[in-house]
Amino acid sequence: MNLIIDVGNSFVKLAVFEADRILDKKIVTAENFLKNFENFIEKHQNIEKGIMSSVGNLTEADVFAIQNACDMMLLNHDTPVPFFNQYSTPKTLGIDRIALVSAAVSQYKNKNVLVIDAGTCITYDFVSAESKYYGGAISPGLNLRYKALNNYTAKLPLLKPEEPTSIIGDSTNAAIHSGVVFGILNEIDGSILNYQEQFGVLTIILTGGDANFLSKQLKSSIFANSNFLLEGLNTILQFNSHE
């Protein structure tokens, strides 16, 4: 069994895979990581190897516990991956994006794939049918847009994401929801259309924390998969185990 750890800025995702199948998943806060991690490991005694992707910070005790759990690989920019990286600055490419592209080439072989990760930021990553990764785009995510309106204006309130009832907001709150949510939806649908015009047939994956909120409102045909990054990390681990 494989142990997969995705360390974000606020939360840590833990998962156990048997081959390509996810057996168990748990999301914990970084502050309460150690106790939850120990309990998670106790449930799964047959873990042989693992991989960790980290864009956040863990304590020395957390890292020590992870390293002692199994044969653990730390994903970095030098880790062999199952695609050809055409990014002009590969050392600056986010490791979360590396994992997403790895999942795309593994699960959708010989297809053009656009992966959209709707998290703190919205990232767009394009990989060709020849497994060549060219890059994509980065824009502010849902909560960042709500926070920006509050932080950079004197009177606009900080709201939680809410599906707008109309394109026309008849109050300040409704206008904010309309501007933020429809702005993102139009951005995503427009980006998909631009990629389709350039590359033709395209498989579109939507993942990330806001994927479920956005997927039901998009016009484009997509596959929503909240575990796509974890699956990508597992793909990288398997790829390196076979070398």
Please report the pLDDT score of residue 27 as a whole number.
92
- 163, 176 contact by CB (below 8 A): no
Selected catalytic residue, list 20, 24, 62, 96: 96
Is there a catalytic annotation at residue 125? no
Buried b (16+ CB within 10 A) or exposed e, 40-75: bbeebeebebbbbbbeeebeeebbebbeebbebbeb
Q: What is the mean pLDDT of residues 102-122?
A: 96
Q: Could you give the domains of the chain?
A: 2-74 (3.30.420.40), 84-233 (3.30.420.40)
| The model's pTM | 0.92
Mean pLDDT of 213-240: 94
Mean pLDDT of 200-208: 95
- At 243 the pLDDT is 54
pLDDT at 173 > cutoff 80 = yes
State the binding site for K(+).
117
Which residues are documented as binding site for substrate? 87, 94-97, 172
Give 61-107 pLDDT, tens digit per residue: 888 888 888 889 999 999 999 999 999 999 999 999 999 999 999 99
| Binding site listing for ATP | 6-13, 120
